[in-house]
Amino acid sequence: MAEEKKTNYDVVVIGAGPGGMTAAMYASRANLSVLMLDRGIYGGNLNNTAEIENYTGFKSVKGPDLAQQMYEGATQFGADYAYGTVEKVELVGDEKHLTTDMGDTFVAKAVVIATGSDQRKLAVPGEAEFSGRGVSYCAVCDGAFFKGKNLIVVGGGDSAVEEGGYLTQLANKVTVLVRRDKLRAQPIEQEKAFKNPKLEFVYNTSVTEIVGDDTKVTGVKTVNNVTGETGEMAADGVFIYVGNVPMTAPFKGLGILDDKGWVKTDDKMATAVPGIFAVGDVRDTVLRQVATAVGDGAIAGQQVYKYLDSQK
Ligand code: NAP
């Protein structure tokens, strides 16, 4: 007889990025039954990150490699892992009932929200039309399709600068279009980028449209934000890194979000709903890093244990 699917857990962790995986490790190591639910492969935004050189213990590590190691650590004390996008969270007494797009319902005594953030869209004509046909949000995933080509990166933060640098290893040339007269990225990343002969920065410039032929991107239309002058630039691909938006749609009814949609927590990672915690990028926080997500996850994993112990 087929084994019946387990649906009741002490803790369900929604999202298996660095924060969620750490929370799952701490909670399962405290002997709680734990399920990590993720809409895709574990690792979250690690899978979109070429190199990480500001995570303690590693001079440099590839995002997907770190994701794999974290997963092995997170599951070693018995945490389960399953696919599914959580669409609804209902509070039934002290229980949390989670429904996924796969039609599953899981019942948890406590929940850790670790859904992170999604890439913000540029919201210009041509972006959706050419998505996957030259428009990308992931250099690690799609960079190899552009060997020897000319690319445009849009944005001026750490992601645009770092992933732009990564793309120069593959492309002929990478032009970064920055909407202001300066970058937002950390100074150390800027210094490195300015030394890269294949990386060019064009300031005060916004993309107004992504253009292409019947099959793929051929360039972008631009506007100079100071002079108002419009122009067009040729490119084989456009990589967009203009920030992030929280992935919190299923939690809107719980009263735990701020006015921009990030989850509000206290310093114990507790939200306003008893038994619901949040960690990592999805929080209303001052710094969004692998290291901070891992720290949040450790606190939440421990606090979940204390919360459940106090309920006995
Ligand atoms: P970010 O820091 O929010 O930067 C977004 C960039 O996109 C800014 O330069 C912003 O310009 C620009 N932008 C926003 N909307 C735009 C639009 N419509 N058109 C053109 N440009 C637009 O986002 P991020 O770089 O993805 O980083 C997200 C978080 O992850 C940050 O906290 C970052 O520090 C962190 N991160 C850290 C590392 C690292 O530590 N190594 C690596 C990657 C990411 P303005 O400056 O004018 O607003």
Each residue's pLDDT tens digit, 19-71? 999 999 999 999 999 999 999 999 999 998 888 989 999 999 999 999 999 99
Which of 154, 181, 184, 281 for mutating ligand 1's site (highest number of atoms within 8 Å of CB)?
A: 184
Q: What is the pLDDT of residues 119-148, one digit of tens each?
A: 999 999 999 999 999 999 999 889 999 999
Q: How far apart are CA 34 and CA 17, in angstroms?
A: 15
- The pLDDT assigned to 51 comes to 87
Q: How far is 179 from 202, CA to CA, in rounded Å?
A: 9
Question: What tokens does 178 get?
Answer: 């920055």
Name every residue whose Cβ is closer than 8 Å to that of residue 124 and which is 6 or more positions away in sequence: 207, 208, 209, 210
138 among known catalytic residues = yes
C-beta of residue 296 within 8 angstroms of C-beta of residue 266: no
Whether residue 223 contacts residue 230, with contact meaning beta carbons closer than 8 Å, is answered with yes
Nearest CA to ligand 1 atom 3: 243
Q: pLDDT tens digit string along 205-260? A: 999 999 999 999 999 999 999 999 999 999 999 999 999 999 999 999 999 999 99
> At residue 4, does pLDDT exceed 80?
no
Helix and strand numbers (H, E) in the chain are 6, 19
Pair of tokens at residue 254 = 């719980």
| Of 207, 201, 208, 209, nearest in space to 184 by CA | 201
> Which of 118, 141, 258, 266 is an active site residue?
141
Token reading at 84: 């599914």
Atom of ligand 1 nearest to the CA of 287: 32
pTM, rounded to two decimals? 0.86
Q: For position 1, what pLDDT does the model report?
A: 56
Token pair listed for 188: 């150390």
Q: Cα–Cα distance between 49 and 98 in angstroms, integer? A: 30
What average pLDDT does the segment 101-107 reach? 95
Asked if 174 and 167 touch (Cβ cutoff 8 Å), the reply is yes
Atom 35 (ligand 1) nearest CA:
288
C-alpha to C-alpha distances, 184 to 108, 129, 152, 225, 228, nearest whole angstrom: 40, 28, 18, 17, 22
The set of residues, in sequence order, having a beta carbon less than 8 Å from that of 262 and lying 6+ positions away, is 246, 248, 282, 283, 284, 285
The whole-number pLDDT of residue 279 equals: 98
The pLDDT of residue 2 is: 61
Residue 181 annotated among the catalytic residues of the structure? no
